[in-house]
Structure formats: C-alpha cells, structure tokens
Amino acid sequence: MISLTDFMMVSAGLFCIGLYMIVTKRNAIQILIGIEFMLNAAILNLVAFGKFDRLNNGGQMFALFAIVLAAATTAVALAIILNVYKKYKTIDPGQIDQLKD
C-alpha cells in the first residue's frame, strides 16, 4: 500500500532536484525546468493531501489550476528568456549581472 509518506518523499525528492537545478544550472531554460520540477512537487503534494480533504477531488481541481498557471508562467518565462537572449546574447544568469553594485 502506498502511504502518504511515500508521496511526500517523492515530492520532496522532486523539489530538491528542482531546487538543485535552479541553483546550479548555467542555462536559464534548465532553471525553468527546475522551477517546473518544484511546481510539480507542490502539485503532487496537493493531490496526495486531497485524499484527506472533506470535499471530493478538491485537491485535483487545484492541481489542474496550478498546472494551467504553470503553463502560462512558463510561456511568459520563455518569452522573457528570448528577450534576454536578444539583449545579452546569452542566457547564462550568472553573466546577466547588471543589477549588482
């Protein structure tokens, strides 16, 4: 029987992988992928906790909303990345440091 703990472990693993990607990767698209990983970890938690909800399928509904929103943010983020690439000829966030002192 798959317990809630197992869902939590998978979710935590996904989150950590995403977080690791965000912190270490030198490519904005890979970082975007990392963000998606973390989002999906959160969605997985929503779905797993939905079992203990008094309303049926409340968690799944939220997961669907979150997926849609994630798709929208990804589209926006990709557009930003494209524009960044146009301006800086790179998508390495480590080199886009014009905001520093």
Q: Which is nearer to other proteins, 18 or 59 (CB)?
A: 18
Stretch that binds other proteins, among 38-46, 47-55, 69-77, 90-98 (CB under 8 A): 90-98
Interacting residue with other proteins among 31, 44, 46, 91 (CB under 8 A): 31
Asked if 89 interacts with other proteins (CB under 8 A), we say: no
11: Cα within 13 Å, side-chain hemisphere: 17
Mapping DSSP onto H, E and C, the string for 44-84 reads HHHHHHHCCCCCCCHHHHHHHHHHHHHHHHHHHHHHHHHHH
57: Cα within 13 Å, side-chain hemisphere: 3
Asked if 23 interacts with other proteins (CB under 8 A), we say: yes
- Alpha carbon distance 47, 61 (integer Å): 9
Count of chain residues binding other proteins (CB under 8 A) = 14
Interacting residue with other proteins among 8, 49, 64, 93 (CB under 8 A): 93
Asked if 94 interacts with other proteins (CB under 8 A), we say: yes
Interface residues with other proteins (CB under 8 A) are: 19, 22-25, 31, 93-94, 96-101
